[in-house]
Structure 1
Amino acid sequence: MSDWVDRMNNNTGGRRVRHAAITNSLRQTGAAIFLCATTALVSLPTDAAAQSYRFNTVSIEGNQRIEAGTILSYAGIARGKTVSAAELNAAYQRIVASGLFESVEIEPRGGKLVIVVREFPTINKISIEGNRRLKDEALEAMIQSKSRLVFSPTVAERDAASIAEAYNQAGRLSATVTPRIIRRSDNRVDLVFEIFEGGITEIERLSFVGNEKYSDGRLRRVLQTKQAGLLRTLIKRDTLVEDRIEFDKQVLRDFYLSRGYVDFRITGVNAELTRERDGYYLTMNVQEGQQFRFGEISASSELADVDSDEFMAALKVKPGVIYSPTIVENSIARLERLANKKGLNFVRVEPRITRNDRDLTLDVEFVLSRGPRVFVERIDIEGNTTTMDQVIRRQFKIVEGDPFNPREIRESAERIRALGFFSASDVKAREGSSPDRVIVGVNVEETTTGSLSFGGTYSTNGGIGLVVSFKEENFLGRGQKIGLSFSGADTNRVYGLRFSEPAFLGRDLQFDFDLSYRETQSDFSSYDSTVGRFSPGFTFPVSDNGRLGLFYKAERLDMQDGGDVYGGIIGSEIAQGVLWSSGIGYNFSYDTRRTGLNPNAGVLFQFGQEFTGLGGDSEYVKTTAKAVAQTKVMNEEITLRATVEAGVLSMNSGSSRAVDRFQIGNGIMRGFEPDGIGPREIDGVTGSNDALGGDMFAVARFEAEFPLGLPEEYGISGGVFYDVGSLWGLGDTSTASGTVLYEGFNARHVLGLSLFWTTPVGPLRFNWTKALKKEDEDLEQTFNLTISTEF
C-alpha cells in the first residue's frame, strides 16, 4: 500500500502524471498496514523450514461485503492441515494480491489462525475538477472507476494516466492529473481527479535534415503537423501529437515513393524542448536516395491458355515515366479486369521488378499466374446503425460466390472509407466454412454526416452576404445527398435545393435534381432579373477519367425595370416580360486528377451543350468548353496553370436577351467589372450606357503561384497572372435607340498580381490588375478582394 502512495506522488510512465497521496489519513493507514504486515511476518519463527502450524479453526475479522469463504479460498489453508511458515506467508501474499483489501494481517494464535482484513471502500461519487479544454463527458468515458464499485488504487492510477494521455494528444504535455479520495461514512469515498491543464506545447520549428530535392517548406506542406506561426492561437495542428507524427511519417514516405524515390527512408524523428520548455523543435532526418524511372515494361504468362501479348497491349505505362507504386497498382488492376472480362478466373498478376542502378531505372514484368481457387462465401456487415447494408455492399464489385480477389477487397475498403459516412471502417477476410471459402467481414462505426452552416461572403463586386446551408451526405442512411442553401448579398440572392442519388437503381449511375431561384439587382446594369431553374439529370462514367452527364432544364427568366435609364435594346427585352425555356443537354468531363498518376500535373477538359425548344418561348443551342492544364516546377515550389474557356450561343428562332447571353464575370476574366466588357448600347440623348452581354466569348488565363519566402504556417503566397479574352456577338439590334459598340471580336489584355492568404476563417485572395489593352467604354477594376467562409 505504501508503494502505491509513493507512486501516486511521482510521474508515471513518462506521461507527466503526478499522483499525490490520496489523503493524510490514507498515508497513516498505509504506514499502519506496512507495520502490521512486518509484525506478522517478523512474529513467524526465523527457521521457516523447522516451524510448522496446524490450525483447528480459522477466524476472519473485518470483512463486510466479502464472504469469509472467499477469503479462505484466497488463503488456501484448510482446517487441520499442517502448513509451514513459508506457506503461511504465501497465503498472506495471495490475499493481498486479490486487490480487494486495503490491509491484511495474519496472526497464528496456537491452534487458531486469525485473518484480519480491511476492505477497500466503495466509490460514492466521481468528480473531475480543473478541466476547461476537455469536457467532463469525454473524460468520464475514458476512466474505468465507477460509482458504487469498489475503489482500486491501481485502477485510479490507470484512469489518471488515461486522462493525462488525452491532454497529451491535445498538445498539453505539461498537464498533471492528481487523483484524491475524500472519506465518507459507511466505508465510502468520493474519488476526485484534480487536473492542471497547463499550456499548449507548440512546435516552434519543424525542420528536415538530409533533404536535397525538396525544400523544408515543400515538405512541411505535405504533413498534417504544422509549426506555430502568426495565428498560433487558431491553428490546431501545431502541437506535438505522437499519433499524428506517425501518420506524417507514412504520408512523407508516400510523397517520395510516388515521385520515384524508392530508397527513401526516415532515419529518425527528434523532438527537443525549447529553453523555456513551452515548445518543441521537431526535426525529421531523411534519406532521399535517387529518383528512378520505369525501364523496360513487359508481360508474361505462366498459363498455357493466356496470350501475354494481349495483356501487354492493355498496359498504359510507358518507359521513361517517373516510377510510382500507384501506376503499378493501377496496371495490375487493369490486367485483372481484363482477365475477368475474358472469363479467366483466379488469374493473379504479380509485378517482378528488376533494378538497374546504372541508369536509375526499374524494369517491371507483369507475370500472370494461377491463384488459389477460393470463393467468397458471404459478406458480413456490422456496426452500421444508420447506413443501410446496400450502401456498403455496393462498394464491392464482387458478390457471394465470386472468385476471391484480395486486391478487389482492398479497393472496396478504400471506397467504403471514401464515403465519409464512418469514423472507422475495417474490412478483413477470414476463412469460411471450408478452406476454399472466404468470409469478408466489414466492421464500421457511424459518424455524423449532416451539417447546418452559417457563413458569410464578401467581394468588392457583390458586397457582404449571408450564407445559410443545410447538408446531409447520407440521407436516411441511403447514401443520398440533400442540400438546402440560401445566400444573400446586397445585389444577389440565391435559393437552392439539391438532391443526389449516387447509385440509381443500384447501378453506377448518379441521379441529380436541382431547383434554384435567383434574384439579381445589379449595380452594373440598368435592369433587374429573376431566374427560376428546374433541372434533373443523370451522370455516369464512360472511362477511367471521363464522365458524361445528361440533363433536362426548364428556366423561367424575367427582366425587370431597375429604375435606371436604359436604351432601346434593353427596353425591348424588358417589355417581353417572363419567358420560359425548356430543353435537354449534356456535359462531358475528362479529369486526370481522378487517378492521381502524376502528382505534379493534371488536365481537366469539360464540354457541354444545351438544346432548348422542347416547349417554352425560345429555341437555341448553347455550347461551352473549358480546358485546364496544371503542373508544378522547381521542385514543386511553383505551380503553373493555363486555362482556356469559350462559349457560343446560337439562336434558332427569335433573338437572345441579356439574361440569355454570356457575361464576363465570376472570375472568367479578371481586371474588369461584371458586364465591364462586350457589346454596349450608348445613347447620348438619354445618357444610357447598357452592357448587353455577348453571344460568344473566349478567354485564356495563364497564372503562376509561388512562395514569398515567408514561413508557410502564415499561409501567405503570391502569384502573377495574364488574361486575354473577348466577349462579342449580338443578335438583332434593330430596336437600338443609340449606338451599338464592340459587336466584333476585340481582345482585352490584363496583367495582374495576386496575394493568397489561407486563414483559419477562410481563404482570401487579393488581386491587383492593370489592363494592358482595353476599349474606351470598358469598366476596369484594378483591385479585387474575395473571401468565403463557413463557421
Structure 2
Amino acid sequence: MQRLQKNSRVVLLAAAFMSTSAIVPVGLGPLSASVAEAAVARSIVVRGNERIEEETVLSYLTIRPGQSYGAGDVDESLKALFATGLFADVQITPQGSTVVVSVSENPMINRVSFEGNKKLNDDALKTVVRSGERSMLTRAKVQSDVQNLLEAYRRSGRYGASVEPKTIERANNRVDLVFEIDEGKKTGVERIAFIGNDSFSDGRLRDVIRTRETGLLGWLRTTDTYDPDRLAADQELLRQYYYKKGYADFRIVASTAELDRESNVFYVTFTVEEGEKYQISDVEVVSSLAEVDPESLRSIVRTDAGDTFNSLRVEQTVEDLTVKVAENGYAFAQIRPRASRDYDAKTISLTYYIEEGPRAYVERINIIGNDRTREYVLRREFDLLEGDAFNRALLDKAERRLRNLGFFEKVSITTSQGSAADRVIVNVNVEEKATGEVSFGIGYSTTDGVIGDVSVSEKNFLGRGQFVKIGVGGGTDNQTYEFTFKEPFFLGRRIGFDFDAYRKVSDSNDYRDYDEDKIGGGIGFTLPLREEELTLRLSYDIYQTEISDPDNLAFGLATCGNNTNLSPAICDSIGKRLTSAVGYQFAYNTLDSNLNPSDGIYAKFGQEFAGVGGDSFYLKTSAEARAYRELLPDFGLVGKVSIMGGHITGLGDERLRVSEQFMLGGSLVRGFENQGIGPRDSTTDDAIGGQMFFAATVEGTFPFPALPEEFGLSGAVFADAGSLWGSDDDLVGVVNNNGGNVVSDDFSIRASVGAGIRWESPFGPLRADFAWPLMKEDSDRTQVFRLSGGTRF
C-alpha cells in the first residue's frame, strides 16, 4: 500500500468534482452586456475533447453558427453539457465572432476495486454499484454507489459501516476507482419488546417471529440483526399466530426499530391489540348457484361449531370449496367467508357464501427470480394455468405451497391488468436460498456410545425440486450407510416417489449378544388424500438380514447350546434371511411444526405384508397417535400425549425370527434399557421380542425461566407406560426344547416417571433423561439415566 501511495496520486472525489462556472469576459460594463446579448456566433470551436467527438459536443449547445446568442443561451448550453455526465469542467468563451467551448472530459474508469471488505465479497459488492470498468467516472454515480454499498451493509446488519471513494490516476485520462470500506461491527437487536400483549408472554411471541435478540450465541446466526423486510414478515407471523389462536380482532398498532448509534444496537418494539378470543358458534354454507347443493359440501368444511376460531382453517376451507365447485363446472365461482361476531358471548358465526364471480382469465404467469430452480417446479404448485379462470384463493394456495417448499427466502405473488379488461397477469417473484447441506455429526448416547455421521443432502437437486441424500455414520457398535432420493411430482402428478438403499451393521453390545448386518432398499408412492393433512403411502421393501455369533462358535440351532451362551431363539435366527414386503400407511398431520410442535395432532396407521418372495412370511400392523397443546402459553408449557402399538403374526407354517418381532425399551419407555422389556430367555438373559406391544407417554416441556433464551435450554417432566408380550409360540418352543425358559411373556404394564433436560445447542439437539421405574418385572433391565443427541456442522 505504501508503494501504491508513492507511485500514484490519490485524490478524494470531492476534490476531483469541484463545481465550475462559465467564464464570461468581465470589465466591459453594461454596454458590453448589451452587445453580448446581440452577439452573433460566426463559428463555434470545441477544444479539449479527446474521446468525445466534436459533433457530440455541438449537439448539446443551444448556440448555433450564424445566429445571435445571449447569456441565457450560454447558461442553457452549460447545463446541457454538464447534465451529460461526460465532462468534469466546461467553459464557454466568446472570442470575437467565434465561440470557444473548452471541455475537460471525465476520466474513464480503468478498474473498480474494494478494500477492507470481509463480510461481503467483491462479487457481491459489484452487483450493487453502477460504476464499472470502461465507463465514465461521474460524481453523481459515485455518490449513488456509496449509498448503495451502505444499504448493502445495512441489509447484512452492519449499520456502522462507512465507505470512502478514492481515485488513483492512470495514463490517458484513466483512473482506478477504489471504495475503501470500514465494515464496522454487526448491529445487533439488543431487545425485542411487546406492548399490549396479555394472553401471550413476550418470550412466547419472540418464538413466533424470526428476528432474534443478540446474545452469547449471536455469532452463529444472522437473524439477530435488523432487517426491515424481516420485520415486515415478523408482523405477518404475529398476525397468523393470533388469528390461528382465535383472536380474530388482533391488529398490530405499530412496529418500531430504534437505532442507538452509540451502542450500535437496535431496540425493536411491537405494539399490539389482541382483542377477544373467539369460538365458532355455528357454520353455514350458502350458495347462490342453483346447481350447487350446500349440504353436499359440508364434509369439506374444516371449521366446526365449538372449535376455536382458526384463520388457517378458514383459508383452507375456502380453497377446498373453490376447487370442488370448479370441478362441478363453475370455474368463476368465488367463496367469500363472512364472520358475524357476538362480542358478549365471544363467538363467531361463520358463513361461506358461494357466488358467481367476475369472468376473468389468467393471461400470463411470469416467474421472476428463479436463477437455479427450474420454472416448471414453481408452475406445478399452481392449481390454475394460463388461460384458466382467475381465482384469488387458488393464488393464495400456490403462494403457501411455494413457501413450504423451503427453496426460497421470499415469495410474493401479485397481479396486474392484462391486455384486456378480463385478462389478468400473475407475477411470481421469488428469492432463492441455499438448499444444499454438508454436515458432520458427533455425539454420545448411553446405548450406542460415541456416534457420528457425515452426510451430503440437497433438497432442490439440479433445480428440479428433488431431494437427494448420501450419508455414512457409525459408532462404537454400529455403522450405517444410506442413500435417499425423493421426487415430489412423479410423472407430473402430485404423487410423491421415494427410493432408498441402506446398510446397517450392528455389533454385539451390553443389551444384544449377537451381530446383525442388514442391507436393503425400497420404493414408495405417497398420494395426498386431503392436501397437507391426510396422505396414503404405498411401499415395497426388500432387505437381507444376517445374524451371526460374534465369537463364530454357533453355526445354527444344533450347535448353539454346546458352544455359546446365546439363546436358542437367537441361534435359530443365525444366518441370512431375505425379506420382501409390501405395505401401506395412512398419515394424518395437523402439527404446527414437525420439528418442535406446540399444537396439533399426528396419527398414522399401516400394515406390512412379507411374503412376496423371500424367506419371511408375516403380517405386521402398527399405529401411532400424538397430540400437542399449549397448556400455559405465557410460560411456554407444551403438553404432549402419545400412544402407539403394534402386532405381528406369522403366516403359514413359518415361525417368526427374533429380528422380526418387536423390541421395547428406553427409547419408548424411559427408565429401561434398550430391549429391556418383554419376553426373555431366563437362561441366557437374551431378549427375544414379542408379537404385540404398546407404549404411551404424557409429557410437559417448558423453557427454563431464569436462563436467557439463547441458551436453548428447556426442561421436561414425563410419565411413560408400556408392555411387550406374546412371543411367537414356535419360537418359545425352540427355547423350551433346548433347555431354556421364556419369562415375562404375558401382558404386564411397565411404568416410569421422570424429568429431563433438552438443549437446542448450536451444534444440534442434546437430551438427558432421568427416569425411575414404578412398575417392572424381575427380568427387566432398568436404566435410570439416558443421554442422547449429537452435533451438526
The TM-score normalised by the length of structure 2 is: 0.89
Partner of 2:702: 706
For the 8 Å contact 1:41–1:89, the answer to whether it is kept is: no
Counterpart residue type for residue 629 of structure 2: T
Partner of 2:178: 192
**1:311 CA drift (Å):** 4.3
Partner of 1:526: 513
For the 8 Å contact 1:222–1:251, the answer to whether it is kept is: yes
Counterpart residue type for residue 701 of structure 2: E
For the 8 Å contact 2:671–2:782, the answer to whether it is kept is: yes
**1:703 CA drift (Å):** 0.4
Partner of 1:414: 400
Distance 2:550 2:309 in 1: 61
Counterpart residue type for residue 680 of structure 2: R
**1:381 CA drift (Å):** 5.7
- Output aligned runs, 1:210-229, within 5 Å: 210-229=196-215
Partner of 2:543: 555
- Output aligned runs, 1:75-90, within 5 Å: 75-90=61-76
Counterpart residue type for residue 518 of structure 2: V
- Please list the CA deviations of residues 281-301 of structure 1 after superposition, one character each: whole Å capped at 9, or x if unmatched: 322222222223334433333
Distance 2:27 2:347 in 1: 81
Distance 1:42 1:221 in 2: 74
Distance 1:370 1:27 in 2: 65
Counterpart residue type for residue 172 of structure 1: R
C-alpha change, 1:632 and 1:517, in structure 2 (3 Å) is: same
C-alpha change, 1:428 and 1:239, in structure 2 (3 Å) is: closer
Distance 2:376 2:462 in 1: 13
Instruction: Select 2:466's aligned residue among 474, 480, 500.
Output: 480
State the SS of the aligned residue for 2:117: coil
Moved more, 240-249 or 352-361: 352-361
Counterpart residue type for residue 287 of structure 1: E
**1:704 CA drift (Å):** 0.3
Distance 2:615 2:579 in 1: 6
**1:632 CA drift (Å):** 0.8
Counterpart residue type for residue 546 of structure 1: L
Partner of 1:689: 685
Distance 1:715 1:422 in 2: 26
Distance 2:374 2:161 in 1: 43
Moved more, 727-736 or 298-307: 298-307
State the SS of the aligned residue for 1:132: coil
Counterpart residue type for residue 553 of structure 1: D
Distance 2:134 2:306 in 1: 70
**1:436 CA drift (Å):** 4.2
Distance 2:299 2:102 in 1: 86
**1:256 CA drift (Å):** 1.9
- Output aligned runs, 1:156-555, within 5 Å: 156-273=142-259, 277-311=263-297, 314-376=300-362, 390-399=376-385, 401-421=387-407, 427=413, 435-438=421-424, 440=426, 449-523=435-509, 524-544=511-531, 545-555=533-543
- Please list the CA deviations of residues 393-430 of structure 1 after superposition, one character each: whole Å capped at 9, or x if unmatched: 43233345543323223323433443344566665555
Distance 1:388 1:62 in 2: 53
- Please list the CA deviations of residues 737-789 of structure 1 after superposition, one character each: whole Å capped at 9, or x if unmatched: 34432112222221111111112211121212222232334322222222233
RMSD: 3.0
Counterpart residue type for residue 534 of structure 2: G
C-alpha change, 1:410 and 1:41, in structure 2 (3 Å) is: farther
Partner of 1:623: 621
For the 8 Å contact 2:247–2:275, the answer to whether it is kept is: yes
**1:722 CA drift (Å):** 0.8
State the SS of the aligned residue for 2:57: helix
Distance 1:203 1:424 in 2: 22
**1:447 CA drift (Å):** 5.8
C-alpha change, 1:700 and 1:439, in structure 2 (3 Å) is: same
For the 8 Å contact 1:228–1:235, the answer to whether it is kept is: no
Instruction: Select 1:727's aligned residue among 724, 727, 749.
Output: 724
Distance 2:28 2:697 in 1: 95
Distance 1:244 1:60 in 2: 55
For the 8 Å contact 2:452–2:790, the answer to whether it is kept is: no
Moved more, 653-662 or 167-176: 653-662
C-alpha change, 1:28 and 1:775, in structure 2 (3 Å) is: closer
For the 8 Å contact 2:696–2:720, the answer to whether it is kept is: yes
Partner of 2:4: none
Distance 1:64 1:312 in 2: 80
Distance 1:366 1:357 in 2: 20
Counterpart residue type for residue 782 of structure 2: E
C-alpha change, 1:384 and 1:233, in structure 2 (3 Å) is: closer
C-alpha change, 1:307 and 1:595, in structure 2 (3 Å) is: farther
Moved more, 353-362 or 139-148: 353-362
**1:23 CA drift (Å):** 4.8
For the 8 Å contact 2:592–2:599, the answer to whether it is kept is: no
C-alpha change, 1:765 and 1:134, in structure 2 (3 Å) is: same
Distance 1:81 1:335 in 2: 77
Distance 2:61 2:339 in 1: 66
- Please list the CA deviations of residues 443-488 of structure 1 after superposition, one character each: whole Å capped at 9, or x if unmatched: 6676654444333343222122332223343445544333322211
How many residues in Structure 1 have an aligned counterpart in Structure 2? Answer: 760
Distance 1:537 1:26 in 2: 65
For the 8 Å contact 1:568–1:735, the answer to whether it is kept is: no
Partner of 1:577: 575
Counterpart residue type for residue 750 of structure 1: S
C-alpha change, 1:358 and 1:508, in structure 2 (3 Å) is: same
Counterpart residue type for residue 526 of structure 2: T
Moved more, 664-673 or 37-46: 37-46
Counterpart residue type for residue 642 of structure 1: V
Counterpart residue type for residue 717 of structure 2: V
Partner of 2:109: 123
Percent of pairs with identical residues: 38
State the SS of the aligned residue for 1:78: coil
Matched, 1:765 2:763: no
Partner of 2:590: 592
Moved more, 581-590 or 50-59: 50-59
State the SS of the aligned residue for 2:80: helix
Counterpart residue type for residue 586 of structure 1: Y
State the SS of the aligned residue for 1:106: strand
Partner of 1:746: 748
**1:120 CA drift (Å):** 0.9
Distance 1:498 1:595 in 2: 23
C-alpha change, 1:392 and 1:226, in structure 2 (3 Å) is: closer
**1:699 CA drift (Å):** 0.9
Counterpart residue type for residue 233 of structure 2: F
For the 8 Å contact 2:409–2:432, the answer to whether it is kept is: yes
Matched, 1:96 2:98: no
Distance 1:475 1:194 in 2: 39
Moved more, 187-196 or 300-309: 300-309
Counterpart residue type for residue 535 of structure 1: G
The TM-score normalised by the length of structure 1 is: 0.89
Moved more, 86-95 or 721-730: 86-95
C-alpha change, 1:703 and 1:44, in structure 2 (3 Å) is: farther
* Structure 2 residues without counterparts, runs of 5 or longer: 1-8, 554-563
For the 8 Å contact 1:567–1:681, the answer to whether it is kept is: no
Distance 1:571 1:260 in 2: 56
Distance 2:30 2:640 in 1: 89
